[in-house]
Amino acid sequence: MGTKERAGPLMRRHLHLNLFIHSRGHHEASWRHPDASALSVFDIGYYQGLAHRAEAGLFDSIFLADQLALGDDIVSGPRTGLEPITVLAALAASTSRIGLIATASTTYSEPFNLARQFASIDHISQGRVGWNIVTSWLATAAKNYGAGGALSHADRYERGEEFMTVVQALWDSWAVDAVLDDRSAGHYARAGAIRAIDHHGKYYQVAGPLNVPRCPQGRPVLVQAGSSETGRDFAARHAEAIFTAQMEKATARDFYRDLKARVVAAGRAPLQALILPGLSPLIAGTETEARRMSDDLGALTDPEVGRNRLSARFGGHDFSHLPLDRPLTPQDFPDPATVEAARSRTEVIVGLVRRETPTLRQLLAMLAGARGHHTFAGTPEQVADLMQDWFNDGAADGFNIMPPVLPSMLEVFISEVVPILQRRGLFRSDYQGETLRAHYGLQEPVSQFD
């Protein structure tokens, strides 16, 4: 098969919008809010309802995160849900245009299983799947996979790199025209068009080929969200969309500039790696109303729950001695460089403490909104202004939309903010393509087959 390098559809630069589905909303207390969905987070109808709304709103994609252990804060909120790849299979059959992105771990999956599952969903959805590549930072996950302790940050990324080599080879193990399905001649597949990969590495021994034909997009759209030094280099090499948590525009711009430079250094075009910072917009008719809703949500949170979650972010560090109402200093936290868990998010948090010296109570309230992503409470015009500003000022190629309460805040976003973005020529008024790759304007991947 000849290698292909085809540009995505030519169009003016548009914002890309991904809906991040999490609990009954991203605010820690969303699940208790009267506007939150009445459905269980274990009801597939909940996910289907959100995906249909996002598709009607012309979003590029929806996204499901995943952790491989139950948090010990389950008593105080539904911070778990259905297994994401399984959910994508159901959504693939009940949607037709929107991209479908699920998280799966390079540390605790076998590359053959993962390559096969994502290829299958790409076939089921006819080219709409994306994979959020994670190395699984949660210390408790290791205990569910027979590993004594969590792997170090460096080990996880080293293993992840080899994992990528294996899955890419598996996705390329069938030529694009390998399947003949010629019933009269009795030839199902073309001889020589499917081949072994014979991978012998430090972590994986995989013969191949994959037992699923090349998928409609060539391979899933690759998404990544690690923001540490190692994570950024990994993203620059592999990721076609990059999620990131940034609390303010200045740091988002620094991240954008740095990541795009790494993408170019890796020999790739800047727009082949879209940067989508998180945005959690709380939208109301007036600023006063938006602030009131924000206060209502805040009143439903418990600082002790937030303290435990902060501890998990810092790999189990003990914050129990910190008073709630004294201003914090960076010395109250471990050095992020020593954190083996979600390192970049700890940098975001310590950076915020350095700049704003909040009390622990105030810090926890800020993190309750969207766990270190940018939160904003205002009118539809103000939300659109913010998005336009970040987009035009080198901070974002689009956004990972994280509604504080679901589905109500998604509905307001779609009915009030999307039309403003469309009027300003910043967002599509119809889907132009059929695949997630087309929505994101990404090239077809070059096959290693020949």
Ligand X SMILES: Cc1cc2nc3c(=O)[nH]c(=O)nc-3n(C[C@H](O)[C@H](O)[C@H](O)COP(=O)(O)O)c2cc1C
Return residues touching ligand X (CB under 6 A).
65-67, 103, 134-137, 153, 225-228, 230-231, 243-245, 278, 342-345, 400
Please give the Cα distance from 91 to 62 (Å, whole number). 10
By beta-carbon proximity to ligand X, the closer residue of 79 and 116 is 79
By beta-carbon proximity to ligand X, the closer residue of 275 and 297 is 275
**Residue (of 114, 86, 82, 81) closest to 100 by Cα position:** 86
By beta-carbon proximity to ligand X, the closer residue of 23 and 173 is 23
Q: Write 149-155 long-range contacts (CB < 8 A, 24+).
A: 150/315, 150/340, 150/341, 151/107, 152/340, 153/228, 153/230, 153/339, 153/340, 153/343, 154/230
Cβ-proximal residue to ligand X, closest one: 231
Q: Mind spelling out the 3-state secondary structure of 384-412?
A: HHHHHHHHHCCCCCEEEECCCCCEHHHHH
Smallest separation (angstroms) from ligand X to the CB of 84: 8
**What is the full DSSP assignment across 124-186?**
HTTS-EEEEEE----GGGGGGTT-SSPPPHHHHHHHHHHHHHHHHHHHTSB-TT-EEEETTTT
**Residue (of 98, 84, 99) closest to 44 by Cα position:** 84
**What is the full DSSP assignment across 243-297?**
EE--SSHHHHHHHHHHHHHHHHHTT--GGGSEEEEEEEEEE-SSHHHHHHHHHHH
DSSP 115: H
By beta-carbon proximity to ligand X, the closer residue of 290 and 406 is 406
Residues contacting residue 168 through CB under 8 Å, at least 6 positions apart:
219, 448
Smallest separation (angstroms) from ligand X to the CB of 310: 15
Smallest separation (angstroms) from ligand X to the CB of 138: 6
Position 136, amino acid: S
Residues contacting residue 193 through CB under 8 Å, at least 6 positions apart:
1, 174, 175, 177, 178
Residue with tokens 């249909």: 52
Beta carbons within 10 angstroms of residue 429's beta carbon:
12
Smallest separation (angstroms) from ligand X to the CB of 261: 17
Smallest separation (angstroms) from ligand X to the CB of 21: 11
By beta-carbon proximity to ligand X, the closer residue of 102 and 290 is 102
Please give the Cα distance from 301 to 29 (Å, whole number). 6
Q: What would you report as the CA-atom Rg of the chain, rounded to the nearest whole angstrom?
A: 22
SS3 of residue 425 by DSSP: coil
Smallest separation (angstroms) from ligand X to the CB of 185: 47
The tokens describing 403, both together, are 């509604």
Smallest separation (angstroms) from ligand X to the CB of 227: 4
Smallest separation (angstroms) from ligand X to the CB of 89: 18
Q: C-alpha 335: how far from its chain's center?
A: 26
Smallest separation (angstroms) from ligand X to the CB of 228: 3
Question: How far apart are the two ends of the chain, measured CA to CA in Å?
Answer: 6
By beta-carbon proximity to ligand X, the closer residue of 30 and 67 is 67
By beta-carbon proximity to ligand X, the closer residue of 99 and 213 is 99
Please give the Cα distance from 211 to 207 (Å, whole number). 11
By beta-carbon proximity to ligand X, the closer residue of 80 and 388 is 80
The tokens describing 123, both together, are 């076939």
By beta-carbon proximity to ligand X, the closer residue of 20 and 449 is 20
Smallest separation (angstroms) from ligand X to the CB of 167: 17
Please give the Cα distance from 370 to 356 (Å, whole number). 18
By beta-carbon proximity to ligand X, the closer residue of 213 and 278 is 278
Smallest separation (angstroms) from ligand X to the CB of 35: 23
By beta-carbon proximity to ligand X, the closer residue of 168 and 344 is 344
Smallest separation (angstroms) from ligand X to the CB of 224: 7
By beta-carbon proximity to ligand X, the closer residue of 339 and 418 is 339
